[in-house]
Structure 1
Amino acid sequence: MKYLLLLFGLLLSAQEKASFYFDFDQDTFNPKQNELFLSWLNKDETREILVINGYCDWYGTYEYNDTLAYKRIHTVHEQLKLKNSIFFTSDLKINGYGERVQTRKERRHNRRVDVFYNVFPEKIKKEEKVVYDDPEVYTGQKISDEPIPVNKINKEFQPVDPEELIHLEAIPNRYANAKVGDKLVMKNLYFYDRSGIFVPESLPVMEELLDFMVSNPKAKIEIQGHICCQLGEDPEDIALIRAIAVHNYLVANDIDDSRLLYKSFGSSQPIHKIPEKNEKERNENRRVEILILEN
């Protein structure tokens, strides 16, 4: 009976599309994207999957990106198969386009999987419809719809002992008095090894930069990535990936892309001579700097 209803429902259903985004060079969801994907996956409605398309940006070889596109499709497909309320059409189409089809101008929008599907009208609740084609999906770095400047304190979260309270309002934003041409190191900005994914402890550093950009709407910056330890080229483009991660965080928090540039210097501008003497010098060489272009 279920399958008869399913076939009958197909005659009345309307095709829909959901897009799910991936971080640079990743084939699994970041935490924010995973949350949004699961929200869509667990909706109380019956769906039939018609087409699954995978895409990549233009960075990398055709062969590499073709493989990466199918890995992203696999991530989505395997989750879909686990849901009893989701069915696949008998002529399901799975297309891995790699970088060969660029559907968006900005490359971060092309790191995605599109799912086309039918929804049965009796299960649709229009008020619950979610638009997934949204900038916050592909970065995983958005904190809130209304970012709170770091110099504001939520009184509910103050320590019980006021003597131990660190008064954040007394800590000035390091960018506040920056002039055109100034270059500031994003101190205490850390990433997971060989990636552009921030460790949680780095979010206050990102919030400080975001607060500056929100408070100074005319400011424009260049985000500069650097690596340590090896002279010459950056074969994995880690410096570039990390500069892009900072850029994407700001865009996801509603900073206009036209105010941002990013660039990799690899190991060409070390603070300490390479090879470094110790881990402290290596940490100081592997960094992201902010160059103030306009303010």
Structure 2
Amino acid sequence: MVFNLIFVKTIYMKSILAVAFFLLPFAFFGQESVSFYFDNNKSELNKVELAKLNTWILANKKSKILSITGSTDEVGSSGYNDTLSQKRVDYIFNKVKVAVKIREDFKSISLGEKGAKSKNKAENRRAIIVFLQEKDLAKEAELIKPKVVEVPKTTEIIPIEEKDMNFPEGATLEEKVELSRPGTLIVLPEIQFYKNSFGIMPSSKPSIDELIYILDKNPNLRIEIQGHICCVTQDHNNLSLERAKQIRRVLVSNSIRQDRLVVKGFGVSKPKFAIPEANEEQALANRRVEIMILQK
């Protein structure tokens, strides 16, 4: 009898601890999240999910929204999925913007099929609202503003080429960052610029949004943004550095602290292929943006 009582008490305490552990991230950080799911190829919620959204709005009129992140499954082209993902974000935003408070540095993040983390495709067709409840707004500055981390100035980091990391085939940027260590170089091939300019092409937005999402999710992460150009023998206008700076401007405008972002332009000093390049594919490989992990 005594043994049974001890056993029951032990199971009860473990259950309480398990529940406490499950709730701890929200209790500690104060940020909540809720997901809404879309039908295949749809950018509007069905009746059931719309009712769920309306119920959430009624219960959160005094909450404050920090971000909305959209994603898709992997069916269809990446370009189509990028557009669909953004439409889902815009749809949710337009539904909540009048009824619920929006933080001034609100982030609209479109991950497209890069946000497909589940084997169940239906679970990837969603939009996630991250928000603060009314009870946590008094601590908003404390909860949202990250502490400034002092960065050692004398730490020497040895670059590690991406190919030497042997990332799994098809690994996403987020997965590569998770597997990386200080010095790891990661190419961002989808970030492209207009010719002879540091103007970023619109097709780069999903990749930049993903980078913002990763930096936001990992507040201790510091990176060096590296610019490279192609097709000439010298970077007369320092275009590679200006392109790296432009990426940093976009990240800072999306509330990523500038002290987490180092920029460097390498011109044509580190080509993947000899200059002049034999074809456009080689030129594209030379004309690239890379990030180097400085701190995790």
TM tier, smaller = 0.3 to 0.5
TM-score by length of structure 2 reads 0.44
TM-score by length of structure 1 reads 0.44
RCO greater where, 1 or 2, for CA within 8 Å and sep 6 or more?
1
